[in-house]
Amino acid sequence: MTSQASRFRDTTITFANGSSGAPLKVPSASPLNYHQAISAPHEMPSIEVDGQLFLPPGASGEPLPTVIVAPGSLGVAPSHLQHAETLTDAGFAAFVLDSFGERSVTSTVANQTQFSFAASAYDVLATWKVLAGRPEIDRARIGAQGHSRGGTAVLVAATRGFADAVVGREDGLCAVLAAYPWCGHQFLDPAVGETRVHVSTGDRDEWCSPMQAQALCHTVRLSGGEASLRLVGGAQHSFDRGTTIETIDEAKVSPAAPTAYIDSSGAFIHPLESEPDPALTDRDLMVYALKAGYGQTGAKIGSHDGEAELFREDMLAFWRSVFS
pLDDT surpassing 90 at residue 61: no
pLDDT surpassing 90 at residue 4: no
Whole-model pTM: value is 0.97
Specify whether the CB–CB gap between 127 and 119 falls below 8 A.
Answer: no
pLDDT score at 6: 79
pLDDT surpassing 90 at residue 184: yes
Domains of the chain, earliest start first: 2-323 (3.40.50.1820)
pLDDT surpassing 60 at residue 1: no
Q: pLDDT of 93-130, one tens digit each?
A: 999 999 999 999 999 999 999 999 999 999 999 999 99
Query: What is the percentage of the chain residues whose pLDDT exceeds 90?
Result: 97
Three-state DSSP class for residue 9 = helix
Percent of the chain that is helix, strand, coil (3-state, to 5): 30, 25, 40
DSSP letters of 175-233?
EEEEES----EEESS---TT-EEEEEEETT-SSS-HHHHHHHHHHHHHTT-EEEEEEET
pLDDT score at 182: 97
pLDDT, averaged across the chain: 96
pLDDT score at 5: 64
pLDDT score at 60: 77
Classify strands 246-253 and 296-301 as parallel, antiparallel or unpaired: antiparallel
